[in-house]
Amino acid sequence: MITEFTKTVSGSGVKLTPQRMAILDCLNGNESHPSAEEIFRHVSQTYPMMSFATVYNTLSMLRDKGLVLELTIDPARKRYDPNVKLHHHVICLGCGKIADVHAEYELDVPADIAEAFVMSGNHVEFYGTCRACGNAAQLKGE
Ligand SMILES: [Zn+2]
Ligand SMILES: [Zn+2]
């Protein structure tokens, strides 16, 4: 499927093979912040011969070109985000769900930091318990 996302990717000089297209389709507009394993499970339904290495290498290549974000907020596994515009994330410590936190502003950089570092961006991580996990804990009487 040709989407804005595939156009952006091919515009950055990435050759679009059918396997890569399947990975891009899975990522396009995907707000669930899937792991490489989840993407692999999804695309192998269409491409049973695709190896996990292909998925992983494609994600690394897209990350290196700045076309996807690689999130390390989940301690269990890296997660991928096709939305590379400035936004922040919240993770549920119960189920690992990651949601976007949209914020138009950038944090103010303190003067001593601005002096010691050349800034390239910022990203805020929020932690908490999602409603579903909170309700489950209540039912168990925790
Ligand atoms: Zn949860
Ligand atoms: Zn996100």
Global pTM reads 0.87
Using the predicted structure, report yes or no on whether residue 115 has a pLDDT greater than 80. Answer: yes
Per-residue model confidence (pLDDT) at position 1: 79
Question: Topology of 85-142 in CATH?
Answer: Dna Ligase; domain 1 (3.30.1490)
Torsion angles phi and psi, residue 107, rounded to 5:
-70, 145
pLDDT in tens, 23-76: 999 999 999 999 999 999 999 999 999 999 999 999 999 999 999 999 999 989
**Residue 64 Cα to ligand 2 middle (Å):** 17
The domain spans of the chain are: 1-84, 85-142
Which ligand sits nearest to residue 85's alpha carbon?
A: 2
Spacing of C-alpha 8 from chain mean position: 17
Most confident of 39-43, 105-109, 115-119: 39-43
pLDDT exceeding 90 applies to what percent of the chain?
77
1-84 has which CATH code?
Answer: 1.10.10.10
The pLDDT, as a whole number, for residue 105 is 66
Rounded to the nearest angstrom, the distance between the alpha carbon of 127 and the centre of ligand 2 is: 14
Torsion of CA 120, 57, 53, 14, to 10 degrees: 150
**Ligand 2 center to 77 CA (angstroms):** 15
To the nearest 10 degrees (0 to 180), the angle between helices 18-27 and 52-64 is 70
> What's the pLDDT at 121?
79
